Chains A and B, each alone.
Chain A
Amino acid sequence: MKKISTLDDLKKTGDKGLKSLFPSSVKIVVGMATSGIASGAGEVYEALIAEIKKRKLPYVLTKTGSMGMDFIEPLVDVIEKNKPRLSYGKMTADKVPQLIDQIVKGTIDKIKPIYRVDEEDIIAKREKKQYLKGAVPEYLREIPAMYDIPFYEKQVKIATRNCGIIDPENIEEYIARGGYLAAQKALTSLSPAAIVDDVIKSGLKGRGGGGFPTGVKWQSCVAAKGDIKYVICNGDEGDPGAYMDRSVMEGDPHSVIEGMIIGAYAIGAQEGYIYVRNEYPLAVANLTKAISDARSCGLLGKNIFGTNFNFDIKIGKGAGAFVCGESTALMASLEGKAGEPRAKYVHTVEHGLWDRPTNLNNVETWANVPVILARSGKWFSEIGVPHSTGTKVFSLVGKINNIGLVEVPMGIPLKDIIYDIGGGIPGGKKFKAVQTGGPSGGCIPAKMIDLSVDFDALWEAGSMMGSGGMIVMDEKTCMVDLARYFIEFLAAESCGKCTPCREGVRRMNDILHDICDGRGKVGDVEMLESMAKGIADGSLCALGGSAPNPVLSTIKYFREEYDAHINHKHCPAGVCRALIRYEIAAKKCTGCGVCAKKCPSECISGEKKKAHKINQKKCIKCGICMESCKFNAITVE
C-alpha cells in the first residue's frame, strides 16, 4: 500500500476512495454486520455474485457494516451513476434476480426501496457530495429521502458516520469521507495541549457508562509522570443487549484507530490496545485488517505523517467476563491475568497497565474524537444539551417495532426514540418501561416518556446513560423478573474478590428468586433495599457498586408488582412461572388438538373438534401450547 505522509497523499488516496464510493458503474452494497449475516446477508451476497456473473454485468459488489435498520435486514444498497442511492430491506436470495432486473431496466416495480439518498453528508469534511445529478427521476419520486422517514428523521450520525456506507475493509473509502484528516492536522499543526483543550471544550463525556469528561481524563494522563504511557480502547461491551460498539468496530474500525492516534499524540503514548469482547469475531477481523492497512500506509508505526511521533496498536481479546469492562480488570486481563479489579485509590491515568499511566476510553468515545478535531470542540458542544453534548448511539431492542442501531442528539425526548424512531410497541401492546445502562442501570417507566435523554436526567430518574443499550418493555414484561434477571447475571459475573458483591448479590438473587417463585415474604422489599445500600457502599468496584440499581429502580417505579408477587402470589405480567397458569378459552378453541400433541407433559386433553382442557396439576408451564395454537385460544394469567 502506498505510504501516506502528507496532506496531498491523503487527498490522493481519498480520491481513489471517492471513486469507489461514487462509482461510475453500478455498485451494489450488502450490509454484512453480524446481525446482517445472521439474517441471511451472506446468502444474498452469494446470490448477487452468481446473478451478476450469469448475466455478465459490469457491476461492482461490496460489503458494508451495520446500516442501522436491523429490523428489516438483510439490507442492500444500489448506487447508479447520477442517481440517488437506493436502500432495499428484507432482501432474500430469491429476490436477487428481480432486483438485478430492476436495475437493468431502470425501474422499481418489483421491489420497492425503503428510501433514497440524493447526497451524502461528509461530516468530517463539512461537505456534501452528490449521488444525484439534476432532478430526482420520475420513477423515484414516490420513494422518501432517507432523512424524511421517521426512523432517520431525528437521527444525527457522528460516531456512526461511516457505518453502513463504507466498506470497513477499505481504508481508501474511510479517507474519502474525511478520515485521517484530523489526525494529520493534529500531528502536524496542533500541540498536545491544544488538542486536550479542544476535547475539553467539546464537552465530550465518556460513552462507556461512567460519563467522565474525556478531555479532563486526558489532561490528568498528560500530567501523570512516566516516559511510557498507554492508550486503551474499551471494546468489551458487556451489557447484554447492547451492540453499539460492535457496530462501530465492525463497520468503521478506522474511526477508532484515528481517535486513538490523536489521543495517544495528545497524551504522549507510544502504544495502544483495543480490548475486544470474545464474542465479536467479525469486529476482531475488521480491526485487525484496519490496523494492518494503517500500518502499511504509515498511519501507524514510526514517524507518522512525517513527524517524530511513533504509535502502534495491538488487539487483546476478552474471554468472556463482564467485569473485564471495568478499567482495572480490563488492564489485569490485558496483562494475562484473571480479570479482578483492584482498588482505584490510585488512578489508572497514573498507574494503569503494567503500572504505567494509561488512558482508557470507550469505542464510541474514540470514534467521536476525529470529528471533534476536524470540526472543532465548539461545533460539537453545540450539538445536544449543555451538560451532555454531542450524540449518543443506542441499540434499540426488546419489545419495539424498529429494532436497530440509532444515533441521536443528546437531550432528545425519550418519546421520540420510542415512537418516532422505534415506531412504537408491536402487537398493539402497551409501552411499560425502558431499561438503560444495562445491568448497572435502571428502568424508566412509561409515565416518564417525556424525559430528556441526557446524562443528568437519566441519572436523576434512577437509571443511567450506560453504554447505550436501550431495552424496551411492554405490559407482558414482568419487572420483578427483569430485576431478578439482571441480579442473576451480576451474581454470575461478579469476580468474587470482595464480600459484599460476591456474597451480597447472590443473596439478593436468592430473595428475588423466592419472590418470583411465590415464596416471597413480607419485608423482602425492605430487606432488598437495605442490602442494596450496603452492597453499593461496600463493594470494591463499580460492578458491585451499581449492582443494586436494577432492583432499586424497579422497586421505585413498580413497587405494586413486587407486592402482587409477595402478597397475592400473582405475576401481573404473566411471566413468573410459579405464579401463572395457562388456560384454554373454550370459546376460541376449535379442538384441533395441536397443543395436545405438542405438550411435553401430555396434560392437554379433549375430544376432537371440542374445546380442550389443561390439567393444571401436570402442567410445567413451558408455554409450548400457547406458541402452537393457531387460534390464539390459549392465554396466560
Chain B
Amino acid sequence: MKKATTTEAKTKEIVKKHGRDKSGLIAILQDIQEEYNYLPKEALSVVGEQLEVPISRIYEVATFYNTFSLNPRGRYLVEVCAGTACHVQGAFNLKDRLQRDLEIECGQTTKDNMFTLEEVRCLGCCSLAPVVRIGGNIHPYLTQNEIPGILRNYRKQG
C-alpha cells in the first residue's frame, strides 16, 4: 500500500481504519496523536468532515481529555507521577526540580523542543514511588540529585 504523506491523506486513512464510526472519535484522535505527537488542527477538520461531526464537538473532545495536546510536544515526554503513592513519597519536590532544571512549567515544552513536562496521576508503579517516566522509560525511586544526570543522558541521545 502506498503510504499517505499529507496530513489529510494520513488522517483519512486513520478514520477509515476505524470504520468512519462517530463513536470511534477518541480512538481516532489517539491514533492521530500517536502519528504526530499532537493533534494538528488540519487533521481535526478532516476528522470532522469524514465523520460528519461538527468541529466544535471535536474541539470539545480534544480539549476535555488530558492526553490530547493541540500543540507539538518535545522529543521526550517527561511525566512526573503525582499519584497518591508518589505524592506521599515527595513527588512534588521532583516536579519542582524538573521545572527548575528544564526552565519550564508543567505543560510546557523546552525551547530546544527536547522535553515536554507533564504531571500524570499514577503510572501504576506505585511500588517504585516516586517515579518519573521519560520517553516511556520509568525511572523508579527517583531522587532530585539524579535528575540532572538523567536529563543530560537524554539530551546526549538526542
A327–B68 alpha-carbon span in the complex (Å): 22
- The answer to whether B25 touches A622 (Cβ under 8 A) is no
**Contact (A279, B127) CB under 8 Å given A321-B66, A337-B61, A624-B144:** no
CA distance A489 to B122 in the complex (A): 12
Tell me which of B81-89, B108-116, B150-158 binds A: B81-89
B10 to nearest A CB, angstroms? 20
Q: Report chain B residues within 8 Å CB of A279.
A: 120, 122-124
Interface size on A, residues (CB 8 A): 56
**Known contacts A35-B125, A336-B23; is A240 also within 8 Å of B61 by CB?**
no
> In the assembly, what is the distance between CA of A454 and CA of B24, in Å?
39
Q: Which residues of A contact B123 (CB under 8 A)?
A: 34, 38, 279
Contact A241:B126 (CB < 8 A) given known A319-B29, A485-B84: yes
Interface: B143 (CB within 8 A): yes
Find chain A residues with CB under 8 A from B6 CB. Answer: none
- Which among B23, B86, B129 has the highest number of chain A CB atoms within 10 Å? B23
Q: How far is the CB of A492 from chain B (nearest CB, A)?
A: 9
Known contacts A39-B128, A280-B124; A471 and B144 CB within 8 A of each other: no
User: Are B88 and A477 touching (Cβ within 8 A)?
Assistant: yes
Tell me if A316 counts as interface (CB < 8 A to partner B). yes
Q: Determine whether the beta carbon of A243 is less than 8 Å from that of B124.
A: yes
| Partner pick for A398 among B88, B97, B131, CB 8 A cutoff | B88
Question: Considering the chains assembled together, what is the distance between the CA atoms of A469 and B86 in angstroms?
Answer: 13
Main secondary structure of the interface of B (DSSP, over half): helix
In the complex, how many angstroms separate the beta carbon of A531 from the nearest chain B beta carbon?
23
Chain A residues 571 to 614 lying within 8 A of chain B, measured CB to CB, are 598, 600
Q: A417 within 8 Å of B by Cβ?
A: no
Which residues on the B side are within 8 Å of A278 (C-beta)? 30, 67
Chain A CB within 8 A of B12 CB = no
Does B5 sit at the interface, judged by CB under 8 A? no
A435 & B127 in contact (Cβ 8 Å cutoff):
no
User: By the criterion CB–CB under 8 Å, are B140 and A338 in contact?
Assistant: no
Do the beta carbons of B84 and A336 come within 8 Å of each other? Answer: no
Q: How far is the CB of A432 from chain B (nearest CB, A)?
A: 11
Q: Does A217 count as interface, using CB distance less than 8 angstroms?
A: no
Tell me the complex Cα distance, A75–B62, Å: 40
A71 at interface by CB-CB < 8 Å: yes
Q: Are B87 and A485 in contact (CB under 8 A)?
A: yes
What are the residues of chain A within 8 A of B68 when measuring CB–CB?
319-320
Q: Which residue of A lies closest to B93 (CB)?
A: A623
Residue in chain A with minimal CB distance to B82: A240
Tell yes or no: A170 within 8 A of B by CB.
no
Q: Which residues of B contact A316 (CB under 8 A)?
A: 26-27
A325-341 CB mask vs B (1 if < 8 Å, else 0) is 00000000111111100
Contact (A600, B100) CB under 8 Å given A241-B126, A320-B66, A628-B145: yes
Sample 10 A-B pairs with CB under 8 A, ordered by A number. A70-B126, A70-B128, A242-B126, A278-B30, A279-B122, A317-B26, A319-B65, A337-B61, A399-B88, A623-B90
Q: A319-B65, A398-B89, A471-B88 are in contact. List 15 more A-B contacts (CB 8 A).
A: A34-B125, A35-B126, A70-B127, A240-B121, A241-B83, A241-B86, A242-B122, A319-B66, A319-B68, A334-B23, A398-B85, A404-B127, A486-B84, A624-B145, A627-B144
10 interchain residue pairs of minimum CB distance: A320-B66, A241-B84, A70-B127, A319-B65, A336-B25, A240-B83, A38-B138, A240-B121, A338-B64, A397-B85
